[in-house]
């Protein structure tokens, strides 16, 4: 939802596998958007209220940030791959 609310023209989202850094306990997941933009999410823990940070390489990130982030939770027009399970919401 964060990606679709904050970036323009999101058509596909593909999630990789979660991994955890043993030293810090931080969880990481890399997400590919529209087959050409990678975003890494870093979470302190896996609770519902966990804070997260995002990071990406400016040279390989091609999404435009929305001028005003949306609040809509509508994912109907986005094809989402949850690590091998593709869900067509269309």
pLDDT at 90: 46
Range of the structural domain that residue 14 is part of: 2-88
What total of structural domains would you count in the chain? 1
Helix (H) or strand (E) holding 28: strand 27-33
- Residue 41 contacts residue 29 (beta carbons within 8 Å): yes
pLDDT one-digit tens code per residue, 21-45? 999 889 999 999 999 999 999 998 7
Q: Which residues contact 67 (CB under 8 A, 6 or more apart)?
A: none
pLDDT one-digit tens code per residue, 53-80? 999 999 989 999 999 887 766 788 899 9
- Residue 52 contacts residue 69 (beta carbons within 8 Å): no
Joined tokens for residue 42: 């870093």
- Report d(CA 87, CA 45) in Å as an integer: 26
- Residue 11 contacts residue 62 (beta carbons within 8 Å): no
Q: Please give the average per-residue pLDDT across 74-88, as a whole number.
A: 78
- Report d(CA 23, CA 13) in Å as an integer: 29
Checking if the pLDDT of 86 tops 70, the result is no
Note the pTM of the prediction, 2 decimals. Answer: 0.80
């Amino acid at each position: 939802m964060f990606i679709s609310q904050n970036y323009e023209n999101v058509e596909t989202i593909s999630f990789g596998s979660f991994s955890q850094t043993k030293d810090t306990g931080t969880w990481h997941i890399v997400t590919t958007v529209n087959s050409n933009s990678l975003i890494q999410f870093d979470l302190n823990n896996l609770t519902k209220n966990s804070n997260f940070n995002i990071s990406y390489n400016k040279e390989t990130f091609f999404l435009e940030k929305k001028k005003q982030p949306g609040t809509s939770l509508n994912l109907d027009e986005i094809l989402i791959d949850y690590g091998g399970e593709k869900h067509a919401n269309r």
